[in-house]
Amino acid sequence: MKKYLFVFLVLLITIISVEAQEEKPQDSTKVEKLDEVLVKAVRVSSDAPITHSNVKKEELKKRNLGQDIPILLNYLPSVVTTSDAGAGIGYTGIRVRGTDATRVNVTINGIPYNDPESQGTFWVNLGDFASSTESLQLQRGVGTSTNGSGAFGASLNLLTDAVSENAYAEISNSFGSYNTRKHTIKLGTGLINDHFEVSGRFSKIDSDGYVDRAFTDLKSYFLQGVYKDDNTLIKALTFGNKEYTYQSWFGLTAEQLVEDRRQNPYTYDNETDNYWQDHYQLHWNERFNNNWSTNIGLNYTKGKGYFEQYKKEESAEDFANLIQDDSDVIVRRWLDNNFYVINANATYKNDALEISSGLSYSIYTGDHFGEVIWGSALATDANIRDRYYDGDATKNDFSVFSKASFKVSNKLTGFVDLQGRFVSYKTNGINSDLDLFVTDANFSFFNPKLGLTYKASDKNSFYASYARANREPNRDDFKAGLTESETLNDIEIGWRHQSDKFVVNTNFYYMFYQNQLVLTGELDDVGSPIRATSGESYRLGLELDALIKFSDVFNTSTNVAISSNKNKNFNASIDGVLEDLGDTNISFSPNLVIGNAINFYPLKNLQMSLLSKFVGEQYMGNVDSEFSKLDSYFVNDFNINYEIKPNKLFKSIVLSGLVNNIFNKEYESNGYYYTYDDTWSNPGATTTIEGAGYYPQATTNFLLGVTLKF
């Protein structure tokens, strides 16, 4: 009943707001691009009281030589990126303001991309997706209402390739260190009869990885058909990826780093991850006049795959007695899932008001099962590919929102955003620990957001906003017995300045949580982070993002994030005694993150950039143990692009080069930390033993590429 009352309330607000503005004058010159309306519901305008960064296709192209999207976004404010294999290809991750990837809501054309169960984003399933991305927006903090898993620190929305008026063809090839290779073909018909376009991309990326044998093999595609006229845009698109990667999930100990920082503890030849994912989207955007537009989006995602593991001298009970005790065994653990989404929204705007209302509904089904594919001593009644666990899950996610931007006066603009989100999650069967895993949970969330923007002059504006977000636990949390939802309150205050030679965005934020699920530093048996409830906690910070144009050929872009991230009155077991540690640092939350780019344009078609990133020290646990500390690091990259425009055959030839870590810094951007109680070494007493692991990142390495445009 709550959800229907909320739907009625949102629709009523929409109708009243529109009727109140109907008599106001219209500006016929304000006509949006139809492509941009696909992400209208999840993006904000440049003057909205939401802290955000925009990245266009042109910026992505400069370093798009095979590395994943998180690595391409490494120099945005408050961003920290990681790579299991060390070279930025394969299993990579992104943290924003210290929040992990499960808290970063990701959408593609407004369609949720985060895995509904784990809430994570697996970029390894989006090989070379930057080559099909028109633009993206990273919102820090709660941001505006979005679809899918609630944003709990950041949201990242991607818009895929826009309609091209002209026919084109591109062939891109890049090569580099660790036998890295990227091959991409893009084709487009341009508009046929001024209405139809068909375009596509096919890519192949391979890399041996910086870590020994941590190879990546990605095959991906993107196909799109478009119908377009002055007021209608219909897009049917499909994209997908097949990934095959060798595991480097568990990193190295400090001793192993000293021995050989590129070593991989795995020795089984086929310790690999294998996953196939295909997406099918249909979008219909209709603009009825300069005031009204609507958008409907449909999505179906099919995912299926497994990872294979070799285990030595295992007990029979851990594999449902399909093997004999002390048998070696090879298993495959499967995930087979389906994801259906429908989004719909309507937008009304005139000179004084813009209001958008909509809804999103998704259904997820997932089968989890494990097979024994080999055993040195199978049980007498067991067969190859017998399942030792089998379970299923269903998740329904319904949200409805209404957001409005309106003029209070000539200088003051208001923003209101109301969202209701209703989640149902059910599981049944046996999980990978061979425990009965039955869950039937329902959550109802109300997420209000409001803010003001004051335009003091043509160059200066100030904003303030408050937003509230709620979030349900993920699958691993439920397995660990964590069933309470989390709540985040986010206050943002900012100043924006823009002039011909100086652009600055600076903001203060205070994010305070109830029942925040923080990373403990530990990993489960498949390398996924384990979380625990921290009670009350907060993130307090100042972010500065500035562009200085010294001349037409020289500029700098700098961002600085200074923060304090604390668990309040944190309790932990130390030597068998539960202790109140007071305020402790939240795991994986550096207090200082700096990004800088020095850009030089000595010739019309030549660009050279020195890119620098500093990430301060951070704790991998929540108990402020020196043993859990991840050292700070400062890394520099060099990027060069030169475009040649010949008179014949090619429209252009683009030469690109990227040298990563030019000063050969040895560093680790990620790791894990764990403790266990030792009751054997000293009978009658309990001693807490600490352990840690690290993910070494590549030393100096390079990528070179050439793109031929026809």
Instruction: Convert the pLDDT of each residue in 386-403 to its tens digit.
Output: 999 999 999 999 999 999
* Average pLDDT value over all residues in the chain: 91
H or E stretch at 140? strand 133-141
Judge whether 173 and 149 are in contact, CB under 8 Å.
Answer: no
H or E stretch at 502? strand 502-514
pLDDT tens for 211-253 read 999 999 999 999 999 999 989 999 999 999 999 999 998 889 9
Give the C-alpha separation, 89 to 210, whole Å: 10
Quick check: helix, strand or coil at residue 310?
strand
Q: What is the pLDDT of residue 677?
A: 84
Name which of 674, 672, 635, 639 is nearest 658 in CA terms: 639
Quick check: helix, strand or coil at residue 559?
strand
Quick check: helix, strand or coil at residue 248?
coil
Judge whether 709 and 265 are in contact, CB under 8 Å.
Answer: no
Q: Which residues pair with 447 in a beta bridge?
A: 419
Quick check: helix, strand or coil at residue 347?
strand
If one counts the domains in the chain, the total is 1
Q: What is the pLDDT of residue 114?
A: 94
Per-residue confidence band for 593, with pLDDT thresholds at 50, 70 and 90? very high
Domain that holds residue 539: 2-709
User: What is the percentage of the chain residues whose pLDDT exceeds 90?
Assistant: 83
Give the C-alpha separation, 182 to 502, whole Å: 37
Give the C-alpha separation, 479 to 482, whole Å: 7
How far is it between the farthest Cα atoms of the chain? Answer: 85
pLDDT tens for 43-102 read 888 889 999 999 999 999 999 999 999 999 999 999 999 999 999 999 999 999 999 888
Parallel, antiparallel or unpaired: strands 216-228 and 232-246? antiparallel
Give the C-alpha separation, 564 to 175, whole Å: 41
Residue 132, φ and ψ in degrees, nearest 5: -120, 20
Q: Is the dihedral of CA 191, 192, 197, 203 positive or negative?
A: negative
pLDDT tens for 434-448 read 999 999 999 999 999
Give the C-alpha separation, 539 to 138, whole Å: 18
- 576-585 LR contacts (CB < 8 Å, sep 24+): 576/677, 576/685, 576/686, 576/687, 576/688, 581/623, 581/624, 584/622, 584/623, 584/624, 585/618, 585/619, 585/622, 585/624
Q: Which two tokens stand for residue 612?
A: 């620098």
Q: Is 454 exposed, middle or buried (0-12, 13-18, 19+ CB in 10 A)?
A: middle
Q: C-alpha distances in angstroms, 261 versus 258, 271, 520, 620, 696?
A: 6, 20, 24, 19, 6
Q: Which residue has the higher pLDDT, 237 or 351?
A: 237
Name which of 249, 215, 256 is nearest 90 in CA terms: 215
Q: C-alpha distances in angstroms, 470 versus 422, 473, 482, 486?
A: 11, 10, 15, 6
Judge whether 337 and 304 are in contact, CB under 8 Å.
Answer: yes
Check pLDDT > 60 for residue 433. Answer: yes
Q: What is the pLDDT of residue 235?
A: 96
Quote the DSSP letter at residue 5: H
Check pLDDT > 70 for residue 39. Answer: yes
Residues 6 or more apart from 37 whose CB is under 8 A from it? 233, 285, 287, 293, 295, 347
Q: What is the pLDDT of residue 681?
A: 73
Q: What is the pLDDT of residue 33?
A: 64
Residue 270, φ and ψ in degrees, nearest 5: -115, 40
Q: Is the dihedral of CA 526, 216, 116, 668 positive or negative?
A: positive
Residues 6 or more apart from 576 whose CB is under 8 A from it? 677, 685, 686, 687, 688
What's the distance, CA 349 to chain centroid? 31
Residue with tokens 């399933």: 125
Q: What angle do CA 250, 255, 261 make, to 5 degrees?
A: 65
Quick check: helix, strand or coil at residue 300?
strand
Judge whether 585 and 622 are in contact, CB under 8 Å.
Answer: yes
Average pLDDT estimate for 450-454: 96
Answer left, alpha or beta for residue 86, where phi above 0 means left and psi between -120 and 50 means alpha: left
Residue 130, φ and ψ in degrees, nearest 5: -60, -30
Per-residue confidence band for 34, with pLDDT thresholds at 50, 70 and 90? low
Residues 6 or more apart from 580 whose CB is under 8 A from it? 569, 570, 571
Identify the CATH number of the domain in which residue 339 sits. 2.40.170.20
Q: Which two tokens stand for residue 10?
A: 């949102």
H or E stretch at 58? helix 57-63
Parallel, antiparallel or unpaired: strands 592-603 and 606-615? antiparallel
Listed in sequence order, the DSSP H helices in 434-591 are 475-479
Name which of 385, 409, 381 is nearest 330 in CA terms: 385
pLDDT tens for 631-688 read 999 999 999 999 999 988 899 999 999 999 999 999 999 999 999 887 777 777 778 8
Q: Which residue has the higher pLDDT, 689 or 171?
A: 171
Residue 148, φ and ψ in degrees, nearest 5: 85, -155
Q: What is the pLDDT of residue 641?
A: 97
Give the C-alpha separation, 599 to 581, whole Å: 46
